[in-house]
Amino acid sequence: MFDFNSTSYKEFLKNFRNDPEKKRVIVFAGNFTENRKYALSQFETEVMGDSVHVSLEDHISGSESETYKKLDQLFDRLSSIRSLIIFNNAEQLCGVYVGHTYSVVKYATPQEKYFIKKLKELNCSCIIEFENENHLDKAIERVADAIVRFRVPSSIIEKVFFWLSQVRVNGSNLPSRRPV
């Protein structure tokens, strides 16, 4: 686990650049969207062929059997791809956190476990994109070769632009915070 633009990140990108054919699972996590997009473009330029973007929002539902069926169909289509696959909206794997529980530990949902199982069958690198680092759990961390954090900027000017970019007209997109 390392931060974007750290020396560890640069070293990992260099290793990816030197061997883009090697299968890797990379997790992007954090609220700083501009840096996440820039990092995605860095990885996309290193692979042969076009990268494939998949929104997990379209494939994960509350019903386990429906999700399994959709994931089977998705991974059947993805099995022939040899370039980079980018899974957006990975928060869908986590289910909905409701705060009416005695546990503050986040466990993998059955849908997430099935996704990880199918992910191991792929023959190419993939990036799993979480907009909120708090939604990561140990199951995803174990399967990842690298977790790149995109933290909120520290300078005043970057903070102003970051907070302006986080404003939503409709409040439904606000991330749900987990207890600390």
Q: Given 3-state DSSP classes, what are the helix, strand and coil percentages for the chain, each rounded to the nearest 5? A: 45, 15, 40
Tell me the CA distances in angstroms from 176 to 30, 49, 77, 98, 116, one per residue in order: 13, 36, 32, 9, 23
pLDDT tens digit string along 129-176?
998 888 888 888 999 999 999 987 777 777 777 666 656 555 444 444
Whole-prediction pTM value? 0.78
Q: Specify the residue for token string 């996440």.
A: 36
Q: Which long-range contacts (CB under 8 A, 24 or more apart) does 174-177 make?
A: 175/31, 175/91, 175/131, 175/132, 175/134, 175/135, 176/96, 176/97, 177/134
Residue-wise pLDDT tens for the chain (180 aa)? 888 888 999 999 999 988 878 889 999 998 888 888 989 988 988 887 788 999 998 898 888 899 999 999 999 999 988 889 999 988 888 765 445 555 556 667 888 899 999 999 998 999 999 988 888 888 889 999 999 999 877 777 777 776 666 565 554 444 444 444
- Which domains are seen in the chain, by residue range? 2-169 (3.40.50.300)
Buried-state track 103-127, b at ≥16 Cβ within 10 A, e below 16: eeebebbebbebbbebbeebebbbb
